[in-house]
Amino acid sequence: MAQEIVEVPITGKLISIEVKVGDAVQEGDVICFIESMKMENPILVPVAGTITEIQVSVGEVVETGNVIAVIE
């Protein structure tokens, strides 16, 4: 199966993760929320599949290009 890597689109603080490893997700589902410039920004799943890895944790400051998760 092909893997899709979900990357951080904006620098900010990760305030919640809405999925866990093993979850089935659909395109457009919210994977997490990042606080940037005092706004909560939902980060959406780009493809349908199953979450196989989560590489960030709540409270972590993330930068553009960091890997959030891997979907298979």
CA-based nearest residue to 61, from 30, 32, 35:
35
> Which tens digit of pLDDT belongs to each residue from 33-61?
999 999 999 999 999 999 999 999 999 99
Q: How far apart are CA 41 and CA 32, in angstroms?
A: 8
Whether the predicted pLDDT of 1 surpasses 70: no
Examine the pLDDT at 65 and tell me if it is beyond 90: yes
Global confidence as pTM:
0.91
Domains in the chain, ordered, with CATH? 4-71 (2.40.50.100)
Cβ contact 9:32 at 8 Å: no
pLDDT in tens, 5-15: 999 999 999 99
